[in-house]
Amino acid sequence: MKLPTAYDHGGDPRDYVVHLYGDTAAVTSRVTDHEQFRDSDIISEMRRTETYVKQNGSWLLIARQWGMLPVNFRKPVAVDPRTYNGYIGQYEWRPGLVDTVVVKDGKLWSQLGEDEGEYLPLGSDTFVVKDDLGSVTFSRDARGHVTDYCYHRVDGQEIHAKKIK
């Protein structure tokens, strides 16, 4: 089948690791796949694992598995950094686990336990951390003060964190 000229596809396999076990080999690699669909450029990060056995002096592929690697490709929107001051505070996930939200160098940051990440704005009161697939949406009371946020996990589950300071 001939693909239309508007179609573009390319892959970048790398990071090969080979483990030999007698006449069996396990090979893993990482692949970045680029595909174009009309007006969308889609990038997929995948881990590939292949298993080979040696038969009659040749390696025979007996199994292949691909798995998508979670990568966040969301693009932040421009906002006035002065709006970040309303989010500053501490948000309790559960007793003993508190997210401290601060502004550093004109950027909004989260410190949750040992993890620190910059909150990147996606829209009104919604943010994402670059290395996280979930998102955070802050809630406001009738006077416009931030009262809590909801962390939306990528699997659809939610964690509600109340502003305690």
Rounded average pLDDT over 121-144: 92
Residue 8 pLDDT exceeds 70: no
Query: Does residue 7 carry a pLDDT above 80?
Result: no
For the stretch 25-47, pLDDT in tens is 999 999 988 877 767 778 888 99
Q: How many residues does the chain have?
A: 165
* 24-37: strand order across its sheet: 8-21, 24-37, 40-55, 58-68
pLDDT for residue 40? 74
Over pLDDT 90: what percentage of the chain? 65
Q: One-letter amino acid identity for 87?
A: Y
Is the pLDDT at 4 greater than 80? The verdict is: no
Contact yes or no for 151/136 (Cβ under 8 A): yes
Measured at the alpha carbon of residue 100, what is the angle toward residues 92 and 72, in degrees to the nearest 5?
A: 95
pTM exceeds 0.75 for this model: no
pLDDT for position 43: 84
The Cα–Cα gap between 73 and 75 comes to 6
Cβ atoms 34, 43 nearer than 8 A:
yes
In this predicted structure, the answer to whether residue 23 has a pLDDT above a threshold of 80 is yes
Mean pLDDT in the chain? 90
* Pick from 35, 59, 31: nearest CA to 45: 31
Higher pLDDT, 95 or 7: 95
